[in-house]
């Protein structure tokens, strides 16, 4: 099938590469010149496990262009995967989605049928708005075009994006037109029936079951995306709230999570207590959902609380440092991990950045490390002028710990699991380890010489 994808961010690029791998004829459009140059040279602009090699493998069925007009007329299906950045009030800005729809309607051929699919995460009602935009363009052009609009939310997790795209739990389609549903079913057939040969880096999981394609109305599809993200976000916040109480009563939250997770109604996933969620989705989507609610005069105290608990986790880390070191002025704190989660270089809404800002504000010196996210963290902090001599970045964890007063583990990279704790502890001024992701066994860390402080455990 001839597919045009507008936007080559995490969602657009992952989708483009996977559809090309499934032998669809894919053209991806992006206006960002530097991104486009990289893609045209066959290089991925994002760090995502497996994407570079897959991009090389699908060179013959994928192309990248800045021009909607060049690819849309001949496409059968067009996916909009542009960003919906937050406005100041938290509302998701759908300007780029509407603009993409407008451009599509301007260049499509009046005598052909197209399916236009919104994949970006958008406020409920955007699908209806896209239909209006398309109709306005058709009436301005004086043509009776034939575009069916559908919503197909994306549930990819950074760091696991390709795994999730090849082996999703479900595919959700919101559409009022049978033609659009049929086209999407055809597009995803190799995934729905698992008829493709798995890429060597992404073997089919042994226990994987064929995923259902759920069809519903567009507004419900849009709501499913927000509700799913908010539910996952509050599941994490819930365990973090329990973790705080565990600290008060000498219980161990990792044991509590194990115990409640064994209840099939609760499930064991997303119960890892720690520094909470960051990234491009949960913070933005929970805020956008609250805006949608506020516009209807509806209160969502559970969603509000999930956010409060989440951002409090970052403050609690600094409080833990105060609790052990007293004043932080003049103290040297090593921060391990800058990305919002492992296996990505994404630092959007990363807990590490808030913690660094707070530590610098209290007069501490910060040495920060990350296996790959240092350039992005530097750029983000530079943009807001948080660059001072008191903030240093290093690629050597052992150098970072030398003479330091405390270490804070923020991102649970595999790399940190393998550190020589004894060597680290030995060269620190005071061997304090705040394990913000409960990566280490408290006993092991203590035997290595650390004063160990985890989240919600003694
Ligand atoms: C999320 C959703 O999982 C995905 O379906 C949606 O499309 C986009 O948002 P992502 O933000 O990439 O994906 O990562 P995810 O793995 O969900 O983790 C989000 C954050 O929660 C990370 O900061 C992670 O460290 C944190 N987290 C996750 C926890 O603190 N505890 C957990 O148990 C799980």
Output the pLDDT for position 282: 97
Would strands 432-435 and 62-65 be described as parallel, antiparallel, or unpaired?
A: unpaired
Output the pLDDT for position 67: 97
CB count within 10 Å of CB 214 equals: 13
Judged against a pLDDT cut of 90, whether residue 69 lies above it is answered with yes
Output the pLDDT for position 113: 97
Judged against a pLDDT cut of 80, whether residue 15 lies above it is answered with yes
Query: Rounded to an integer, what distance in angstroms lies between the CA atom of residue 58 and that of residue 21?
Result: 6
Query: Rounded to an integer, what distance in angstroms lies between the CA atom of residue 318 and that of residue 356?
Result: 10
Output the pLDDT for position 230: 98
- Does the domain made of 2-216 have the CATH classification 3.40.50.720? yes
Nearest CA to ligand 1 atom 3: 157
Would strands 406-409 and 332-336 be described as parallel, antiparallel, or unpaired?
A: parallel
Q: Which long-range contacts (CB under 8 A, 24 or more apart) does 375-381 make?
A: 375/345, 376/338, 376/339, 376/345, 376/346, 376/347, 377/338, 377/347, 377/350, 377/352, 377/353, 380/347, 380/353, 381/353, 381/356, 381/357
Span from the CA of 273 to the centroid of ligand 1 (angstroms): 12
Query: Rounded to an integer, what distance in angstroms lies between the CA atom of residue 27 and that of residue 39?
Result: 12
Residues in the chain: 458
Q: Tell me the pLDDT tens digit for each residue of 115-126.
A: 999 999 999 999
pLDDT band at 12 (very low <50, low <70, confident <90, very high): very high
What are 323's two structure tokens? 């609790």
pLDDT band at 253 (very low <50, low <70, confident <90, very high): very high
Q: Tell me the pLDDT tens digit for each residue of 290-325.
A: 999 999 999 999 999 999 999 999 999 999 999 999
Output the pLDDT for position 2: 98
Output the pLDDT for position 385: 72
Judged against a pLDDT cut of 80, whether residue 386 lies above it is answered with no
Question: Taking residues 243-266, what's their average pLDDT?
Answer: 98
Question: Phi, psi (5° rounding) for residue 56?
Answer: -65, -40
- Do residues 171 and 152 make contact, with C-beta atoms less than 8 angstroms apart? yes
Span from the CA of 280 to the centroid of ligand 1 (angstroms): 9
Domains 2-216 and 282-453 share a fold: yes
Radius of gyration for the alpha carbons in the chain, expressed in angstroms and rounded: 24
- Do residues 352 and 434 make contact, with C-beta atoms less than 8 angstroms apart? no
Start-to-end CA distance of the chain, whole Å, equals 57
Q: Which of 221, 281, 360, 421 is catalytic?
A: 281
pLDDT band at 389 (very low <50, low <70, confident <90, very high): confident
Q: Name residue 213's beta-bridge partners.
A: 171
Output the pLDDT for position 374: 97
Question: Taking residues 159-164, what's their average pLDDT?
Answer: 96
Question: Taking residues 335-339, what's their average pLDDT?
Answer: 98
Span from the CA of 115 to the centroid of ligand 1 (angstroms): 30
SS (H, E, C) 145-180: CEEEEEECCCCCCCCCHHHHHHCCCCEEEEECCHHH
pLDDT band at 383 (very low <50, low <70, confident <90, very high): confident
CA distances from 71 to 2, 174, 192 (A): 9, 24, 26
Best of 12, 231, 282 for a ligand 1 pocket test (most atoms within 8 Å of beta carbon): 282
Burial group, residue 235, by CB count within 10 angstroms (0-12, 13-18, 19+): middle
Sheet holding 432-435, edge to edge: 391-393, 365-369, 332-336, 406-409, 432-435, 451-453
Output the pLDDT for position 335: 98
Question: Taking residues 16-44, what's their average pLDDT?
Answer: 97
Query: Rounded to an integer, what distance in angstroms lies between the CA atom of residue 252 and that of residue 53?
Result: 42
Query: Rounded to an integer, what distance in angstroms lies between the CA atom of residue 369 and that of residue 129?
Result: 44
Nearest alpha-carbon partner for 349 in 411, 293, 423, 400: 411
What are 93's two structure tokens? 């800005």
Residues with CB under 6 A from ligand 1: 154-158, 229, 232, 236, 270-272, 274, 276-279, 281-282, 340-341
Output the pLDDT for position 451: 98
Question: Phi, psi (5° rounding) for residue 87?
Answer: -80, 175
Judged against a pLDDT cut of 90, whether residue 235 lies above it is answered with yes
Ligand 1: which atom is nearest the Cα of residue 340?
23
Would strands 365-369 and 391-393 be described as parallel, antiparallel, or unpaired?
A: parallel
Nearest CA to ligand 1 atom 9: 281
Output the pLDDT for position 384: 81
Question: Taking residues 239-260, what's their average pLDDT?
Answer: 98
Query: Rounded to an integer, what distance in angstroms lies between the CA atom of residue 382 and that of residue 253?
Result: 37
Would strands 171-175 and 451-453 be described as parallel, antiparallel, or unpaired?
A: unpaired
What are 157's two structure tokens? 């997790």
- Do residues 14 and 165 make contact, with C-beta atoms less than 8 angstroms apart? yes
Q: Tell me the pLDDT tens digit for each residue of 72-125.
A: 999 999 999 999 999 999 999 999 999 999 999 999 999 999 999 999 999 999
Output the pLDDT for position 33: 96
| 281 a catalytic residue | yes
Question: Taking residues 269-293, what's their average pLDDT?
Answer: 97
Give the CATH fold of the 282-453 domain.
Rossmann fold (3.40.50)
Average pLDDT, the chain: 96
Output the pLDDT for position 63: 97
Percent of the chain topping pLDDT 90: 98
Ligand 1: which atom is nearest the Cα of residue 282?
9
Best of 172, 276, 281, 350 for a ligand 1 pocket test (most atoms within 8 Å of beta carbon): 281
- Do residues 448 and 433 make contact, with C-beta atoms less than 8 angstroms apart? no
Nearest CA to ligand 1 atom 7: 155
Domain layout of the chain by residue ranges: 2-216, 282-453
With vertex at residue 342, the alpha carbon angle to CA 417 and CA 257, rounded to the nearest 5 degrees, is: 70
């Amino acid at each position: 099938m001839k597919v045009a994808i507008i936007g080559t961010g995490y969602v657009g690029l992952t989708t483009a590469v996977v559809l090309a791998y499934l032998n669809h004829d894919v053209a991806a459009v992006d206006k960002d010149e530097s991104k486009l140059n990289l893609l045209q040279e066959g290089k991925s602009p994002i760090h995502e496990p497996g994407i570079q090699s897959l991009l090389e493998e699908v060179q013959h069925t994928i192309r990248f262009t800045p021009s909607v007009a060049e690819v849309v007329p001949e496409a059968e299906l067009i996916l909009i995967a542009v960003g919906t950045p937050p406005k100041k009030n938290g509302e998701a800005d759908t300007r780029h989605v509407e603009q993409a729809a407008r451009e599509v309607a301007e260049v499509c051929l009046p005598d052909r049928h197209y399916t236009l699919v919104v994949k970006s995460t958008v406020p409920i009602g955007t699908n209806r708005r896209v239909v209006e935009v398309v109709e306005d363009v058709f009436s301005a052009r004086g043509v009776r075009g034939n575009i069916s609009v559908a919503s197909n939310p994306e549930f990819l997790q950074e760091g696991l994006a390709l795994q999730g795209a090849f082996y999703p739990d479900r595919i959700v389609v919101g559409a009022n037109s049978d033609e659009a549903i049929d086209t999407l079913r055809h597009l995803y057939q190799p995934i729905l029936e698992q008829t493709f040969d798995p890429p060597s880096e992404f073997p089919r999981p042994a226990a994987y079951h064929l995923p259902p394609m759920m069809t519903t109305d567009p507004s419900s599809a849009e709501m499913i995306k927000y509700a799913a993200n908010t539910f996952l976000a509050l599941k994490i916040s819930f365990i973090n709230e329990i973790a705080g109480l565990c600290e008060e009563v000498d219980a161990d939250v990792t044991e509590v999570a194990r115990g409640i997770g064994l209840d099939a109604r609760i499930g064991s996933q997303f119960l890892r207590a720690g520094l909470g969620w960051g990234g491009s989705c949960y913070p933005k989507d929970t805020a956008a959902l609250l805006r949608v609610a506020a516009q209807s005069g509806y209160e969502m105290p559970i969603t509000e609380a999930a956010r409060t608990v989440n951002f409090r986790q970052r403050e609690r880390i600094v409080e833990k440092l105060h609790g052990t070191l007293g004043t932080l002025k003049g103290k040297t704190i090593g921060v391990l991990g800058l990305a919002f989660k492992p296996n990505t270089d994404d630092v959007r809404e990363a807990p590490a950045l808030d913690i660094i800002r707070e530590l610098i504000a209290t007069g501490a010196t910060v040495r920060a490390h990350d296996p790959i996210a240092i350039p992005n963290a530097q750029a983000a902090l530079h943009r807001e002028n948080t660059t001072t001599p008191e903030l240093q970045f290093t690629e050597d964890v052992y150098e970072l710990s030398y003479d330091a007063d405390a270490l804070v583990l923020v991102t649970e990279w595999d790399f940190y699991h393998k550190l020589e704790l004894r060597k680290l502890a030995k060269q620190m001024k005071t061997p304090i380890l705040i394990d913000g992701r409960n990566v280490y066994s408290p006993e092991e860390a203590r035997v290595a010489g650390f004063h160990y402080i985890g989240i919600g455990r003694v």
